[in-house]
Chains A and B, each alone.
Chain A
Amino acid sequence: MITLYFACQTPNEPSETKLEDTVVTVDEPSQEPTQEPSIEIETCDEVKTLPKKLRRLTDTQYKNAVIQILDLEFDDASFKNSFPSTIQSKTFHTFAANNNVTQAGSESILFASEEFINLWKIQHSICENQNQECALSYLKERVEQAYRRSVSEEEFEIYEDMILNWGLPVNEVLPLALQVLLQSPQFLYIHPTPTESINDTMSKISSSERLALLTLFLHNTLPSEEQSEIYANRLQTRQDVRDVAQELLLLPQTSHNLYLFHRDWLHLFRLYEGTKDPDVYPSYTSDWPNFAERELELFIEDIFWNGHAKFEDLLFSTEAWIHPHLREVYNTSDVLEDEYPDIWNYTSELSEQRKGILTRPAFLMAQSYTATSSPVRRGAWVLEQMLCEELNPPPDVDMEIPPPQDDAETIRDRLAIHSEDPYCYGCHQRIDPIGFSFENYGALGEYRQNWENGIPVDASGSIAEGEFDHVTQMLTLLANSPKVQTCYVQNWMEYALGRPLEEEDQCDLQRITQRFVSTNGHVPSLLLDIASSDAFLYTRTE
């Protein structure tokens, strides 16, 4: 079935374009993700001494939080935001290392605070009567919202002193105090404060900070005033946290976060690392990575909001949104005729070769080179991101594969030569068979029967789980592997906690994985399990 969506969206429009405005015909989407299967919550016997890693808010979290705290009307397109960009890398963007503050970055934070406060001054007239009490009251609320907890007298004294003793009128000093707030580490860094001790090393996190951890994880922002009022005192037990997380999960803001996780998981940052060879791909433009990402975002939205929200859907669903500019990448049977050149295609029955997230242009384009596919990148991605296997080449080993030559016409031949080096063989015996299974897809993700030189593609191979002829078979073998499910859970936990898992996390990992398997890979349930795990309830006592 192909449904038409008349796209108001042009190639230059931001991805926030609302498709619901453009629908001609479509089944009414459900308004919430599929319900969680009813399974009892299990926890680890005792709370371990969990690692604690100071991490800065991401660029998105900062922006969303400032908008929330200052109650700003915000337009991305017309507002200059100097806040340092979060690095997109092979690790999740929530990790501390991707949110380092450089020297220039600290100045960026200063400028960002000034820019946001200038916007606030335009949009709000607070304490126009120049009353200092009014300013202190307004400030106290913002500081507590930004700090995600109540503030001590000593902490608030810094702000109070500005209002009372700087000798400036309120309309001048209040913006300066807010600038201090937006640059302060208590706001910029996620660092739950220990409250009541539960053992020698761990303490409870306050209810308000628990709520903030939940909204930062699920919505990439701080709790709204309303949410704070409703939930802040409700988060006393693990079940409380889970119940609130369940309610938050149903809100539309969750959708984008689901996408951000998968964007990182798939290493889509590589989409922007280079262009494509214009001789081989003359239609390609620098917008294509954005289009491919948008396709993926819509795919994920559909899986989780309209579908079964299962892990296997990610890997095997035949639903797709096809951007008009990317039609040529797909099979002709999957796309509309040329007389509808500006139309997004939706189909629920994409052809067999396009099952799931790993056979769509975004992933395939990212894990390719300029003019050719890259079985090494694709195979390495599967090993590292789906199987959580470490690929640690010997230091300084020669990573480049030999160029085409007479006795090495295909990438299989070239990699065979490369693997003759014993230093290379160790990794490539694992990478290459998996990578070859993707060889039916070129550097844009276009399906192909033959390699560039006309030789028929051989995508067959074998892994520990069995033999395969092509990528869907390979993925079917992997999808049933407990290792793959554990790895997906591990990735989500690392994303949520903003750090790699350590030994102390293993108990939570095992239990959450067991539940994930028992729910047949129900992703919303997984998020709830993570949101109600020890790391969201307790913190290390300093």
Chain B
Amino acid sequence: MKKVNQKSSIHRRSLLQGGSLLSSSLFLPWISRAQAQDNQLPKRLIVVHHPQGHSLQHCIPTSTGSGFAMPFALQPLEQFRNKMVILSGIDNQVAPLNSVSTAHPNAAYTFLTCQKFLVQDPNFLTAGGPSIEEIIAQRIGQETPYPRLDFAIGGTRSDNGIYLPHDEHHFWLDANDPVGAFNDPFVAVDRIFASQNIDPIEQWQTQSRRAAVLQRVQQNFSLMEEQLSGEEKERLQAHQNKIESLFRRNTLPVGSCNQPLLSLPYDYDYTYDDHLSAPIMQDILIAALACDMTRVGTISFANAQDHGFEWLWSENGDQPIVDRSRFDNWHAMVHADYQSGMEYVYRWYSKMLARFLQKLSETTDSDGDNMLDSSLVISISEFSSPRHWHKNIPILLFGNTGFLPQGNHISYMTYTLEDFVNSSGMLESGFSMNQFCTTLLHLFGFDDEHFGIDDASISSGTLPL
């Protein structure tokens, strides 16, 4: 049983906030990256995101520790119980600090960046900084062709197969710099594995020429930057940084990858057929991870507003998931508290996650290591309940969870789930997403003392065990 006492956290936090010179390593049994043996730290980070929170009663176990009964929505993950950690009771404490915007951007732009909007202006909403997986990508992914690879399941169509929604970005390279994700699997395969089908000499020539061209492009960026200042200069530099990353990719040797084969029906629609897209995108990511094309990946289910989930109707007694006589769309349905049928969608997200974990566990990387055991996989949503609750966000971790004891439900709730629901999500645990993200950095062997906004009202440091 790992029920946490909030008082210990406050004590620890006050020490850290008081400018203590003590490293937080005194409080947690982590090891620094420099000290770590190769097999002790996760080699990779994968963040799987689904939108609109959870059906909480179907997602958070009723007991803590190792003997918990798997909730309905998580049942497909039963086989990974011993490689899994469930965290509950973690609050997005940053969202309430914003004074503008509706709940969706407020949640999406803060839960992984742990920072307020850059400016409190509803017409210019942007995150305050990079999200946690980007920080980790910057630290562990720079030697790979792609410091990160991002995939969306669904979302709108675009000419170049890259999904960049007009709002509600969940992943950020930096303030003003949301992440675009592949949502057309054909484009993704074409881009990521193009070099696999080309003669090595031709590939080398192509890369060399691209690198040379990009170098000249960078020179042009430098010339223009001299004429700029302030925000304009930052904007151009953000673009130039991406050119730099592209340049670097074109100077790196390309490993041998097993390119996934795409076999999809002729009427496949990547904007809608999530049940077909999810497995394909998973396979593409796993193939890229396995040949060290990247070490950080995200998969995000993008159809949050209006979807029929027709492939789940049979589980719902052959009834539509969304009752159109009562709700305009899926969004309206999940928002109206628990509605019968919702749990099948959330369980399907788990089913897709279980498939991903299974595939990872069946794959070895170029070192011969099991991909699941050598990766950290996180499953998270931007809300706890789809009623726009920012508190008590459930987080699932799989694979190499470091010092977090596997097979456990670690609850940071200082209340019962029933009380939390009865309070309309207002009860606070005192533990923050900032602490979770700091803990994540420690799991990867980095000794940051805090992540995100530096604000006295936000619990900082790592999560206590």
Q: Decide if A and B are genuine partners.
A: yes
User: Using a CB–CB distance below 8 Å, which chain A residues touch chain B?
Assistant: 52-54, 59, 81-85, 87-91, 96-98, 100-108, 110-112, 154-155, 158-159, 162, 166, 176-177, 179-180, 183-186, 189, 191, 193, 269, 272-275, 277, 279-280, 369-372, 374, 390, 392-393, 395-400, 402-404, 500, 542
Which residues does chain B contribute within 8 Å of A280, judged by CB atoms?
324
Jot down 7 A-B pairs with beta carbons below 8 A, ordered by A: A54-B236, A83-B160, A101-B239, A176-B212, A191-B232, A269-B166, A273-B306
Check if B180 sits within 8 Å of A102, measured CB to CB.
yes
Check if B235 sits within 8 Å of A371, measured CB to CB.
no
Given contacts A81-B159, A110-B246, A184-B217, contact A396 B239 (CB under 8 A): no
B140 at the binding interface (Cβ < 8 Å): no
A114, chain B: closest CB distance, angstroms = 8
B458, chain A: closest CB distance, angstroms = 17
Which residues does chain B contribute within 8 Å of A400, judged by CB atoms?
332, 335-336
B409, chain A: closest CB distance, angstroms = 28
Check if A89 sits within 8 Å of B167, measured CB to CB.
yes
Check if B305 sits within 8 Å of A158, measured CB to CB.
no
Check if A82 sits within 8 Å of B102, measured CB to CB.
no
Check if A500 sits within 8 Å of B213, measured CB to CB.
no
> Which residue from chain A places its CB closest to the CB of B331 in the assembled complex?
A400
Which residues does chain A contribute within 8 Å of B123, judged by CB atoms?
91, 500
Partner of A100, one of B103, B178, B229, B332: B178
Check if B216 sits within 8 Å of A158, measured CB to CB.
yes
Check if A404 sits within 8 Å of B325, measured CB to CB.
yes
Check if A110 sits within 8 Å of B219, measured CB to CB.
no
Which residues does chain A contribute within 8 Å of B156, judged by CB atoms?
272-273
Which residues does chain B contribute within 8 Å of A272, judged by CB atoms?
156-157
Which residues does chain A contribute within 8 Å of B95, judged by CB atoms?
396
Check if B102 sits within 8 Å of A369, measured CB to CB.
no
Which residues does chain B contribute within 8 Å of A81, judged by CB atoms?
159-160
> CA–CA, A374 to B150, complex, Å?
34
Partner of B306, one of A85, A110, A154, A370: A370
Check if B102 sits within 8 Å of A103, measured CB to CB.
no
B106, chain A: closest CB distance, angstroms = 6
Which residues does chain B contribute within 8 Å of A91, judged by CB atoms?
123
Check if A396 sits within 8 Å of B106, measured CB to CB.
yes
Check if A176 sits within 8 Å of B213, measured CB to CB.
yes
B158 at the binding interface (Cβ < 8 Å): yes
Check if B306 sits within 8 Å of A106, measured CB to CB.
no
> CA–CA, A159 to B212, complex, Å?
12
> Which residue from chain B places its CB closest to the CB of A184 in the assembled complex?
B220
B45 at the binding interface (Cβ < 8 Å): no
Partner of B210, one of A98, A103, A110, A399: A110
> CA–CA, A54 to B124, complex, Å?
15
> CA–CA, A398 to B103, complex, Å?
8
Given contacts A102-B180, A396-B102, contact A185 B160 (CB under 8 A): no
Check if B228 sits within 8 Å of A54, measured CB to CB.
yes
Residues of chain B in range 222-250 having any CB-CB distance to chain A below 8 Å: 223-224, 227-229, 232, 235-236, 238-239, 242-243, 245-246
Given contacts A107-B191, A110-B246, A542-B227, contact A85 B388 (CB under 8 A): no
Given contacts A84-B162, A87-B164, A155-B223, contact A102 B236 (CB under 8 A): no
> CA–CA, A98 to B124, complex, Å?
11
> CA–CA, A283 to B431, complex, Å?
52
> CA–CA, A240 to B242, complex, Å?
41
B139 at the binding interface (Cβ < 8 Å): no
Given contacts A85-B159, A189-B236, contact A393 B102 (CB under 8 A): yes
> CA–CA, A269 to B157, complex, Å?
12
Partner of A102, one of B106, B162, B223, B305: B162
B259 at the binding interface (Cβ < 8 Å): no
Given contacts A274-B329, A371-B324, contact A103 B180 (CB under 8 A): yes
Which residues does chain B contribute within 8 Å of A371, judged by CB atoms?
324, 328
Which residues does chain A contribute within 8 Å of B210, judged by CB atoms?
110
> Which residue from chain B places its CB closest to the CB of A103 in the assembled complex?
B242
> Which residue from chain B places its CB closest to the CB of A106 in the assembled complex?
B242
Check if B329 sits within 8 Å of A108, measured CB to CB.
no
Among A90, A107, A186, max chain B CB count under 10 A is at: A107
Check if A279 sits within 8 Å of B324, measured CB to CB.
yes
A68, chain B: closest CB distance, angstroms = 19
> CA–CA, A183 to B246, complex, Å?
12
Check if A396 sits within 8 Å of B388, measured CB to CB.
yes
Check if A396 sits within 8 Å of B182, measured CB to CB.
no
B200 at the binding interface (Cβ < 8 Å): no
Partner of B100, one of A183, A191, A395: A395
Check if B159 sits within 8 Å of A83, measured CB to CB.
yes
Which residues does chain A contribute within 8 Å of B178, judged by CB atoms?
100, 102
A530, chain B: closest CB distance, angstroms = 21
Partner of A105, one of B162, B176, B214, B224: B162
B437, chain A: closest CB distance, angstroms = 21
> CA–CA, A53 to B123, complex, Å?
15
Which residues does chain A contribute within 8 Å of B242, judged by CB atoms?
101-103, 105-106
Which residues does chain B contribute within 8 Å of A105, judged by CB atoms?
160, 162, 164, 180, 242
Which residues does chain B contribute within 8 Å of A83, judged by CB atoms?
159-160
A397, chain B: closest CB distance, angstroms = 7
B29 at the binding interface (Cβ < 8 Å): no
> CA–CA, A154 to B180, complex, Å?
34
Which residues does chain B contribute within 8 Å of A166, judged by CB atoms?
212
Given contacts A186-B220, A395-B106, A404-B325, contact A179 B166 (CB under 8 A): no
Check if B324 sits within 8 Å of A275, measured CB to CB.
no
> Which residue from chain B places its CB closest to the CB of A396 in the assembled complex?
B103
The 6 closest A-B pairs by CB, nearest first: A89-B166, A102-B180, A274-B306, A369-B328, A106-B242, A184-B220
> CA–CA, A274 to B272, complex, Å?
10
B292, chain A: closest CB distance, angstroms = 18
Which residues does chain A contribute within 8 Å of B103, judged by CB atoms?
395-397, 399
B96 at the binding interface (Cβ < 8 Å): yes
Check if B224 sits within 8 Å of A191, measured CB to CB.
yes
Check if A185 sits within 8 Å of B224, measured CB to CB.
yes
> Which residue from chain B places its CB closest to the CB of A399 in the assembled complex?
B102
Which residues does chain A contribute within 8 Å of B221, judged by CB atoms?
184-185
Which residues does chain A contribute within 8 Å of B324, judged by CB atoms?
277, 279-280, 370-371
